[in-house]
């Protein structure tokens, strides 16, 4: 399970990263809000730990921007020394799945992570999401930038594969094998044409998700990081 840790205090960040890796999380860490948003735009994570006291962007603003589209469905555990009820309510209203006050014990951190990832697990198989793009696996229906997408069967299969590896490079031969399993004629540019059609659909509706081509190797979904406000 991939985890993004956003914590500006170096000693705390290194201690938490070491602990999280020991308990089984593949953990990446950063120390600023802008780095966090960039990483979430490039890669997909199963859970995020977010400290509110960041040096460049207030953690609450980072939380809102994540929920606004970059990774709207990812479970988020907020860490903070802000102890007022209003702060906790604001964080939960902004989209935090849980809230842990500093200082805290590591067993409690582990328990809260288990809880929010367990809750998210039931919906993760039903909805694949990256940025403002989502695919309802039950209905096989896609939405981007709030607009329903009328996709062909093959476009749905392609989108599913890209979303399952969102932010990561998907080798073209793996996509071809998945598509050709549906008896698609094996022509030299079939995959390129399919990707091009899906890419155009996203551009037309001004989705924040794009399809990046790594020529001769494969494709990956990326999210554009937009300036706040």
For residue 83 the two structure tokens come to 């102890």
Same domain, yes or no, for 120 and 131?
A: no
Q: Does 140 lie in the same domain as 84?
A: no
Number of domains in the chain: 2
Taken as a whole, the chain contains a residue count of 229
Residues 13 and 116 in one domain: yes
32 belongs to a structural domain: yes
26 and 116 together in one domain: yes
**Assigned domain for 228 exists:** no
Contact 68, 92 (CB under 8 A): no
Where in the sequence is the domain holding 191, given as residue range(s)?
127-223
Evaluate whether 88 touches 99 at the Cβ level (below 8 Å).
yes
Domain match, 87 and 152 both: no
CATH number, domain of 154, equals 1.10.10.10
pLDDT per position as a tens digit, 6-58? 999 999 999 999 999 999 899 999 999 999 998 988 888 889 999 998 999 99
Distant-in-sequence contacts of 29-33, Cβ < 8 A, 24+ apart: 29/4, 29/5, 30/4, 30/5, 30/6, 31/6, 31/7, 31/55, 32/8, 32/56, 32/57, 33/6, 33/57, 33/58, 33/59, 33/61, 33/62
10 and 116 share a domain? Answer: yes
Q: Distance between CA 86 and CA 84 in Å, rounded?
A: 5
Tens-place pLDDT, residues 165-221: 888 888 888 888 777 554 444 556 888 999 999 999 999 999 999 999 998 899 999
Let me know if residue 229 belongs to a domain.
Answer: no
Are 187 and 205 contacting, i.e. CB atoms less than 8 angstroms apart?
A: no
Q: Give the pTM.
A: 0.58
Same domain, 153 and 142: yes
What's 14's domain CATH number? 3.40.50.2300
Would you tell me how many other CB atoms lie within 10 Å of the CB of residue 199? 17
* One domain for residues 99 and 159: no
């Amino acid at each position: 399970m991939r985890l993004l840790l956003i914590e500006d205090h170096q000693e705390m960040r290194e201690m938490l990263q070491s602990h999280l890796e020991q308990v089984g999380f593949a953990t990446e860490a950063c120390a600023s809000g802008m780095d966090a948003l960039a990483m979430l735009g490039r890669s997909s994570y199963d859970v995020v730990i977010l400290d509110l006291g960041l040096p460049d962007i207030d953690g609450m603003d980072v939380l809102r921007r994540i929920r606004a589209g970059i990774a709207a469905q990812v479970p988020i555990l907020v860490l903070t020394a802000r102890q007022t009820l209003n702060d906790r309510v604001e964080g939960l209203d902004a989209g935090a799945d849980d809230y842990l006050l500093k200082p805290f014990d590591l067993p409690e951190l582990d328990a809260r992570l288990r809880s929010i990832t367990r809750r998210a697990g039931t919906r993760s198989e039903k909805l694949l999401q990256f940025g403002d793009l989502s695919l309802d696996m039950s209905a096989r229906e896609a939405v981007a930038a709030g607009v329903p997408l009328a996709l062909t069967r093959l476009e749905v299969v392609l989108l599913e594969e890209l979303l399952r590896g969102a932010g990561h490079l998907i080798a073209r031969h793996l996509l071809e094998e998945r598509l050709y399993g549906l008896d698609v004629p094996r022509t030299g540019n079939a995959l390129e044409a399919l990707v091009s059609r899906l890419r155009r659909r996203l551009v037309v509706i001004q989705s924040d998700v794009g399809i990046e081509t790594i020529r001769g190797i494969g494709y990956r979904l990326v999210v554009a990081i937009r300036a706040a406000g």
